[in-house]
Amino acid sequence: DLRDALRYVFANADRLGVDRDNVFVIGTSAGAITALHAAYLDAAEAPKNLTEKYGRLAERESIRGVISLAGALYDLAY
């Protein structure tokens, strides 16, 4: 869902007044986990059981950074 929201922001950046080169995502707890995975997880790296259940991940947008408060990556190899 976050990747879809980011795609919307990037597609409408001019209308929304968003600088595409300076988009950051931030989250706390589960939101931090979501932000980190939206920024760093490639579709090919997603756990197979999740992609089978929910489908492939949307493509990543090029974001500038992530602020993660009390969240972690699923796998440090990302």
Q: Tell me, what's the pLDDT at 40?
A: 86
Q: Tell me, what's the pLDDT at 77?
A: 66
Asked whether the CA dihedral 78, 31, 69, 50 is positive or negative, the reply is negative
The Cα-based distances of 39 to 14, 15, 66 in angstroms read: 22, 23, 7
Q: Tell me, what's the pLDDT at 24?
A: 95
Q: pTM for the full model?
A: 0.75
In the 8-state DSSP scheme, what is residue 64?
Answer: S
pLDDT in tens, the chain (78 residues): 899 999 999 999 999 999 999 999 999 998 998 898 888 888 788 878 878 888 888 888 888 999 999 877 766 666
Q: Is 49 exposed, middle or buried (0-12, 13-18, 19+ CB in 10 A)?
A: exposed
Asked whether the CA dihedral 7, 63, 54, 44 is positive or negative, the reply is positive
Q: What's CA 64's distance to the chain center, in Å?
A: 11
